[in-house]
Structure 1
Amino acid sequence: MTATHSGFQPPPAPPGSAAPMPPAVDEVRPGAETPVGLRKNLSYRFGNWFVNEGPKAFFLVIWTAVNLALFLDRFFFFRNSASWSNMRDIIGDGLPWARGSAQVLNFNCGIILLTVCRNLITYVRRIPGIRRLVDKHITFHRAVAWTIAFATYVHVGAHYFNFLHIEQATPEARKRALLPDEGTALQVAVSAVAGWTGHLLVLVMFVMYTAAVEGVRRKYFELFWFSHHLFVVFFVLLLGHGAQCLLRPQNAGAGYICIPATWKWVLLSLVVYLLERMIREIRARRTTTIAKVIQHPSRVVEIQMNKPSMTYRSGQYLFLNCPDISRFEWHPFTISSAPEEGHVSCHIRLAGDWTTAFARRLGCTFDGAPGNNGLTLPQVYIDGPFGAASEDVFKYDVAVLIGAGIGVTPFSSVLKSIWYRVVSPNTKVKLKKCYFFWICRDTGAFEWFHDLLRALEAEDIGNFLEIHIYLTGGLKLDQVKNIMVNDRAGLEDGLTGLKSPTRYGRPDWDTIFGNMGVQHPDTEIGVFFCGPKPLSSALHIACNNATSSKKGGAKFYYQKENF
């Protein structure tokens, strides 16, 4: 198998000439008044901030208030209820703290599975007004997980406090509180159902949380994937945790029936998640065949697949499984083809054990060894597609696409679809202007995406699409000489061969967004990004700074890829 380019060659565009190109948005134009310079009063800045952060902040306030209300309700009930006075005589405030935190655990354990039901999320994000909020489901999943961890810390600490006080209580006081007559704190903590299931729950959580740390997850994705499936063990233990009812109200008679409350909180999410997994399993097993494999430079493999039962939108993603590598591992990849094309494609960068093994199984070699052109391609399964932020590009009048390194992948699908929609006379498109920014560290990152950008420029839709490429790494001497030799009187960039010039260094986002706000007043501008966190944070802040809540001002809506 030899290295090649994707060779994106769209059909001819309808005849017509393009209008003159407007000034580039990343040019600093003296005298241009931008929203960045208008920060004078708190209410104005709050209005600008609220455009991007308001819905998320409102949702977090509601969620926090629910957690606090649930905690306080149980805390004061067990602190003041006459039915628990004998128990309080022994363990004091340890009881309300344990029960209050348990209620917070029940609530959050009841919603955490819903945050990873990808089909449900894909469906819900179609509802206008909440798409950008739903796209934060992974962030919210982590927030819920850390809330569970904190509530567990409080719950476990309170019960250890309780066990110590139970050990110190007299047999008569224990009997009045319906507690075991004897036993040390350790014996009670280990022998009781709530004790040993609780310790096992903490152990399971430790494994899951440790493997979910970003550094571990990125470097050892397989470890993260398998350890996270311990959630099955977690919920089994959780449902049985309160079965014994170690702590009982003093009016509980001989016929007292212990009915734990946890199942009421988690039943709905467990049923929804079970249906989710059944749907994904059935859909994934439908026929999928590999039509073509293309080995690109820079350790990138393109795989083109045919799956007649699958329909998707630009910017969506899927999960890929190759039984020859692992029957149980599913890895997420952005769809890089456009819906208008006759196949589904993904560009996969070799960045771990699974992707490297998969590339070898496809017959790709990056070490100079000859490929195996007669290789029988493996069976693969596709789960998806699933909704992502980039599919909302066509819902804005102006869109800004920003990719860093391999983060450009989701925009491959979007840019192809843009071309098909713009040149088709029968397609109505709300999108009137698209800015594409690609930030790369080295020139090798341009190679696999090069054909698509050249094809887009060749069709001369420059008034609609504006391409900006930034190279943040240094150039070697032979590259500098090559640029000087191949620069065709300014008609093409000497490094990329594109009409759009390559800029060196990092973009000034305040200037760029400020100029866009001037060029597109009274416009909702969607900013879509895929790449590393530090750049995401800078873009997020720049969007808030450039947004103007005043009448006639431009509003920048920031959306980041999360999967």
Structure 2
Amino acid sequence: MSSMGGMAMGSMSMGNGVPSMFALQQIYWVVVGSAIGIATFVNGLNRLLARYRLQDPSSTPAQPKSLFLRVYATLTAISREISYAKFPPISLGPLVIHFAPLGWILIILANLVTVLVLCFYGIDTSDVWQWESVGYRTGFIAICQLPLIFLLAGRRNIIGYLVDMSYVRLNWFHRWTARTLWLTSTIHMGFWFHDWGRYDYIAYQLTHDPLTKRGFAAWCILTFIVISSSAPVRKLSYEVFVLQHLITFVGLTVAIWMHAPEEVKIWVWIPIGLLVFDRVVRYAWGAYVNIGIFHCSTSRCSLFAHHATFTPFPGNVTRVIIHNPETHWKPGQHIFLTCHRIALFQSHPFTIASLPEDGRMEFFIRAQGGGTRGFADFAEKRRSLEGEVRCGPMFIDGPYGTHRPLRQFDSVVLFGGGMGATFVIPLLRDIVSAWKSEQDNQFPRRKNPSSVTRHIRFIWAVRSRAEMNMFESQIHTVLADVNECRRLSPEFKKEIEISIYITCDKNCHLVPLPHSRSSHENTQSSIELFDLPTNSRNNSVNTTSTDREAEMNCQDKYQKHTTPIREKVCPDTGNCHISALSRDQTSSDSNHSAEESTQLLPSYTNTSPTILSGRPSPHAIIRKSLERAHGESAVVVCGPRGLADDVRLSVVSLSDERAVHKGTEAQGIYLHVESFGV
């Protein structure tokens, strides 16, 4: 990192038709801007397509009808197969390396190739007299990447708004763009060192040249940032990572600003402006949402707008409810939640498990350490002393998160793994609420658009029966609404199938489904809900027991029901790898015969959840839904990495197997994977 003081070189051509270094910086941003522009155009087309489908009066609105829509569907299907694909993980002893989707990797590789071409175009690196030119050129290209890194980092993200992508996904691109910057800076430093090394001049420069000192300091800070941002290090302590990341990025920005000449400092001021913009917007919005004086009509002019109630659940899960929140959100979005009384200066993202019409924000938080452990400990200790556990003030930041609206798809398949249900259950409820709105003639129709979805397949995999109690009321609401739609309209053709898989219950009893005592129980298809015995349900709120103790409480006694249930008891295998044939699996997917499947599993109706032991087969489940689809389908998954990878692989395989939109009548498949972790 030598003196870049000869900045007159920046505006000079290097001969042989090679543009000037300033022009190369502009070319880089033409490429980046074009990519963002194309993604923005596609996002606009998708929005128009969704509106078109919701206004289409035909029986198959999600099916492309015109030549343009068929061509667009074909191009979309091809790009999806490429972008959704994923390389299998590689095991290196105890270390397992997971790969990002191929589409993400191709974008990063395109950025890397662009950077390297701009760095070396027209330069003969075998000529020692051009090494200094490489040093200058790579310095120019390195510093012009800074704005993109900051653009990809903010929660209130301009790129995310244009291309309809959550900051969570953009953060992955942020990290890899930073690694590309590190590589460019290393080449920049390496060629200067290589040039100085011929004269044994490196130590002298690092000792006596201030510009070289600052550049080397910037490279050291950037190296530390890249290492500390790797997943293994980042997940050791998320709170510590966030704090040191902010501090080191400030240090990096200062070091680069001191190293860079005046002519290129604009590339440093732009990131500073983006950072200030992100913080000002977030803090201004946060102040409006969280300070009660802005909402006197609802919060009675208290200083702080939000307080919360805490309820402990089995499995180290805490339910947090904020009543009458002063913000609106969409299904599947998340909030950063802060309670300084419990976890000082800590903010953690949690998916909102309720809908806006519920009048409350509901979160289910599993204790994993840090602030989440503080929530669980607070709920457990305070409940025995104070009865209902209340805490305040609570501060919310958000909502964040985005995906294509699911109401525009003909068939929707939802996979939730464990706490991943907090993401998919609101999506399920949102579609069903649209169905009910269309059928309800007693009340004014909602302003929300209707849904073209005909079929919903909902899969929830849980480790034990105790976890099912968390979302009993939500699933009750869904089934009650569907049954009400059937009562109001005998011609109601929508379908919903709900299956719950118990993957790690030691004794694997299938839980009886008591009849609902709702006003709809006299309809032809009675609503059946899974439930724990009354004693266990009451204990689930007050208990401090572990998962295993809660399961033992649940095994003691079952309520008696008039409807007979076929019960399957798994052998005690001593581990969590119980296997049972799902009714979704065909003979090609399992060694079990169809006759064995009938003997093992309870009877099924599409208005009652089916409870199964074992693990779901995403490939078979998705295929069954696709074969019934009359238009484009959506597959959404939120859960552990293994489940997400299985679903992703199944979507890619089925899309290729069915030759989606490649001369066949098979319809397209949209996939959204919501990731766990940080």
TM-score (norm 1): 0.73
Structure 1 residues 450 and 282: CA distance shift in structure 2, 3 A: same
In the alignment, what sits opposite 1:270?
A: 272
Structure 1 residues 264 and 64: CA distance shift in structure 2, 3 A: farther
Equivalent residues of 1:315, 1:411 under 8 A apart: yes
Equivalent residues of 1:484, 1:494 under 8 A apart: no
2:549 is aligned with 1:549: no
In the alignment, what sits opposite 1:22?
A: none
Same amino acid, percent of matched pairs: 20
Structure 1 residues 242 and 371: CA distance shift in structure 2, 3 A: same
Shift of 1:350: 0.8
Equivalent residues of 2:432, 2:482 under 8 A apart: no
2:409 is aligned, of 396, 401, 421, to 396
Structure 1 residues 464 and 145: CA distance shift in structure 2, 3 A: farther
* Greater relative CO (CA pairs within 8 A, separation 6+): 1
Structure 1 residues 202 and 418: CA distance shift in structure 2, 3 A: same
In the alignment, what sits opposite 1:13?
A: none
Structure 1 residues 215 and 68: CA distance shift in structure 2, 3 A: closer
1:337 is aligned, of 330, 354, 360, to 354
Deviations 1:252-297 (A, max 9, x none): xxxxxxx342x33343343233111111112222333124322222
Structure 2 matches for 1:475-494, cutoff 5 A? 475-476=506-507, 489-490=563-564
Structure 2 matches for 1:134-533, cutoff 5 A? 136-167=169-200, 184-229=201-246, 230-243=248-261, 259-261=262-264, 263-285=265-287, 286-287=290-291, 288-306=305-323, 308-325=325-342, 328-361=345-378, 363-365=379-381, 370-373=384-387, 377-389=391-403, 392-424=405-437, 425=440, 426-427=445-446, 428-461=450-483, 463-476=494-507, 489-490=563-564, 499-521=608-630, 523-533=631-641
In the alignment, what sits opposite 1:75?
A: 120
1:50 is aligned, of 79, 85, 107, to 79
Shift of 1:520: 0.7
Structure 2 matches for 1:19-30, cutoff 5 A? none
2:539 is aligned with 1:537: no
Q: State the one-letter code of the partner of 1:75.
A: F
SS at match of 2:621: helix
Distance 2:333 2:385 in 1: 31
- Greater CA drift, 228-237 or 459-468: 459-468
SS at match of 1:448: helix
In the alignment, what sits opposite 1:174?
A: none
Structure 1 residues 145 and 325: CA distance shift in structure 2, 3 A: farther
Distance 1:418 1:355 in 2: 31
Distance 1:339 1:151 in 2: 47
Deviations 1:21-80 (A, max 9, x none): xxxxxxxxxxxxxxxxxxxxxxxx998552343599788767655654454344346669
Distance 1:530 1:143 in 2: 23
Shift of 1:376: 6.0
Equivalent residues of 2:508, 2:568 under 8 A apart: no
In the alignment, what sits opposite 2:155?
A: 118
In the alignment, what sits opposite 1:34?
A: none
Q: State the one-letter code of the partner of 2:391.
A: L
Distance 1:408 1:478 in 2: 22
Deviations 1:479-511 (A, max 9, x none): 89779996865559889x993222232222222
Distance 2:172 2:477 in 1: 37
Deviations 1:170-221 (A, max 9, x none): xxxxxxxxxxxxxx42231243233322333333334433333323333411
Shift of 1:314: 1.0
Shift of 1:382: 0.9
1:558 is aligned, of 671, 674, 678, to 671
Distance 1:380 1:158 in 2: 53
Distance 1:483 1:46 in 2: 56
Q: State the one-letter code of the partner of 2:191.
A: A
Equivalent residues of 2:331, 2:427 under 8 A apart: yes
Distance 1:133 1:220 in 2: 23
Distance 2:280 2:375 in 1: 26
Deviations 1:332-389 (A, max 9, x none): 111111011212222211111111123334x4349xx834337662322111111333
TM-score (norm 2): 0.61
Shift of 1:326: 5.0
Structure 1 residues 479 and 512: CA distance shift in structure 2, 3 A: closer
Distance 1:64 1:475 in 2: 46
- Greater CA drift, 305-314 or 376-385: 305-314
- Matched pairs, number: 471
Shift of 1:242: 2.6
In the alignment, what sits opposite 1:39?
A: none
Shift of 1:518: 1.1
Q: CA RMSD in A?
A: 3.7
SS at match of 1:552: coil
Equivalent residues of 2:413, 2:625 under 8 A apart: no
Distance 2:568 2:562 in 1: 7
Equivalent residues of 2:364, 2:422 under 8 A apart: yes
Distance 1:338 1:494 in 2: 35
Distance 2:121 2:132 in 1: 10
In the alignment, what sits opposite 1:171?
A: none
Q: State the one-letter code of the partner of 1:235.
A: T
Shift of 1:432: 2.6
Gaps of 5+ in 2: 1-73, 85-100, 292-304, 487-493, 512-554, 570-601
Equivalent residues of 2:502, 2:508 under 8 A apart: no
